[in-house]
Structure 1
Amino acid sequence: MATPAPVVDPVSGLRTGAGPDLDHLTVLAGLQDAFQAGIDGADPNAPVPACRRWRVRNLVTHLGRIHHWAAGQARRRQETPLGRGPFDLAPFYATQAAEIRDTLAALGPDASSWTLLGNGPASFWRRRQAHETLVHLHDLRAARLGSGAAVADTAPLDVPADVWADAVDEVVRLFAPRQVRLGRAAPLRAAVGLEAFDVGWSWVLGTADGVDRQHDAPADSPDVVLRATARDLALVLWGRLAPDEVDAQITGDRGALDDALAGRIVP
């Protein structure tokens, strides 16, 4: 039986209760190394399956630009524009990856930064950039293999389950509520339960009455429950895989799950 996941403060990216926090900066560095290695030999014109019209060159440029922008946000400065490109992809990414990593290491986790939720600690960006890189590393491997579903069998990401679980938590506690607040998504019409059986944790996204209360589990039971590994839950929430493409159990109102996943719960 899954238990409620440890509560992570979306502003700091740190747990509010007992238990160790992830070393997001170390996680970020490892993911960046894997992404960098994947650029070598990748076809810049290969399509990225989950990213509409993107090609690999767009993916690499996007992640590099996001690293550069986030470094500015962490320092509370407007970033210097990088120009339109085109760029030599491998050195371009290496430069931006080093910038965000070195910036966050130099600032320390408690430095005052601009975040997606207003002013907050720089630890926010350690977590956010780790998960940004995680999802796009999956995209890069999916582009090489031709589909996201092939990654798990052919070129799986060497990432611990608790990192994937943290990515689930970020969607539930940060992005889904923020999308509603910004008017980019409507409140979910039904409560969606998420259970990661490999870590034994659960989350609830939305409520049955459509009120946006993702920060606290609702009193009513979920209308539908999606049970899978933390990895698969994260990739489903980010639209990289469909529920039918993973080893998942779905109990309850499948239509409510489909509506939630179609509802722009992530940017």
Structure 2
Amino acid sequence: MGINHLAVVEQFSGSFTEAVAGHLGAPVPTCPGWTVDDLVAHLAEVQAWWTAVVLAKGAYPDEEAARRAADTGPDRVEGWREISARYVAVHEEYQRGAGPDAPVWVWWNDEQRDTAAALASRQAHEAVVHCWDAWRAVGAVGSIPAELAVDGVEEFLGRFLYGKPWEGGPAVLELAATDTGTTWFVGTDGAAEPARLAGGAADARGTGTAEELYLLLWRRVGLEEVTVSGDRAKAEALIAWPSLK
């Protein structure tokens, strides 16, 4: 049946809530300059915005309504929990009534339009990555299942391969997951921006678990956390290129 992305949003948002409670002043090493309080405010803003997107049913959302809905009130954690629960409930209701292919506004394609199911995927990985940020900030132990990590790599390569003009010349990086046997290729001939490739000769190869490769792409861990062979400088350049915005 595949991954239920809204269930992932609910699960990892819940784990996020458990992690951040009582730790709002802690720094977040993976988001330099942020405290846990900033991280909670950010994820509240994100999920409030996408709640407004779902409610708009394919149109551009009401920005002012989304801004008001992102206000957590005086109890940051409880306010966040309510915002997250509302996002899941609104999205589930929309998909139940209109189907997973129901339209929503999005930022990641020229048409600015995709399906409710695609949005659920994006929000699932938003919750997973920031839950991992929270775990790291508070010293909690948590893991990302291999199947979900593979899905996350696929999502990243489909939506986040963009950045400033590429100046690194020809470069190809192979990523190989040791626990799932999955491989991915990212690179460029030097004349175009890096993109996902079907295969080919790689200048460098990064090997690790699916979770490690997922976190590597999101720059939550560095190349020192995986095994790198070949041209390390080209691997570093390709990992550093996406803007992550």
Q: Same fold (TM over 0.5)?
A: yes
2:135 paired with 1:155:
no
Q: 1:225 to 1:106 in 2, by over 3 A?
A: same
Distance 1:226 1:31 in 2: 27
Distance 2:155 2:130 in 1: 16
Q: 1:254 to 1:240 in 2, by over 3 A?
A: same
Cα-Cα RMSD: 2.1
Question: Any conservation in 2 of the 1:207–1:222 contact (CA below 8 Å)?
Answer: no
Q: Which of 29, 52, 55 lines up with 2:35 in the alignment? A: 55
2:153 paired with 1:173:
no
Question: Any conservation in 2 of the 1:226–1:249 contact (CA below 8 Å)?
Answer: yes
Q: Which of 174, 183, 186 lines up with 1:202 in the alignment? A: 183
SS of the equivalent of 1:51 reads: coil
Question: Any conservation in 2 of the 1:173–1:214 contact (CA below 8 Å)?
Answer: no
Which residue matches 2:208? 228
Q: 1:185 to 1:27 in 2, by over 3 A?
A: farther
Question: Any conservation in 2 of the 1:228–1:249 contact (CA below 8 Å)?
Answer: yes
Question: Any conservation in 2 of the 1:207–1:213 contact (CA below 8 Å)?
Answer: yes
Which residue matches 1:252? 230
Which residue matches 1:91? 78
Distance 1:50 1:126 in 2: 24
Distance 2:198 2:227 in 1: 21
Matches within 5 A, 1:104-119: 104-108=91-95, 109-116=100-107, 117=109, 118-119=112-113
Distance 2:115 2:86 in 1: 18
Q: Which of 78, 89, 97 lines up with 2:62 in the alignment? A: 78
CA shift for structure 1 position 265:
4.5
Distance 1:27 1:187 in 2: 37
Which residue matches 2:138? 144
AA aligned to 2:240 is: A
Which residue matches 1:122? 116
Q: 1:221 to 1:37 in 2, by over 3 A?
A: same
Question: Any conservation in 2 of the 1:185–1:264 contact (CA below 8 Å)?
Answer: no
Question: What TM-score, normalized to structure 2?
Answer: 0.86
Distance 1:187 1:113 in 2: 35
Q: 1:254 to 1:111 in 2, by over 3 A?
A: same
Q: Which runs of 5+ in 1 are unaligned?
A: 1-19, 146-153
Question: Any conservation in 1 of the 2:203–2:231 contact (CA below 8 Å)?
Answer: yes
Q: Which moved more, 1:186-195 or 1:209-218?
A: 209-218
Q: 1:49 to 1:135 in 2, by over 3 A?
A: same
Size of the alignment, in residue pairs? 230
Considering fraction of residues, name the structure with more helix.
Answer: 2
Q: 1:266 to 1:75 in 2, by over 3 A?
A: same
AA aligned to 2:81 is: A
Question: Any conservation in 2 of the 1:165–1:234 contact (CA below 8 Å)?
Answer: yes
What's the % identity of the aligned pairs? 27
2:7 paired with 1:23:
no
Q: 1:213 to 1:143 in 2, by over 3 A?
A: closer
Distance 2:239 2:76 in 1: 32
AA aligned to 1:93 is: W
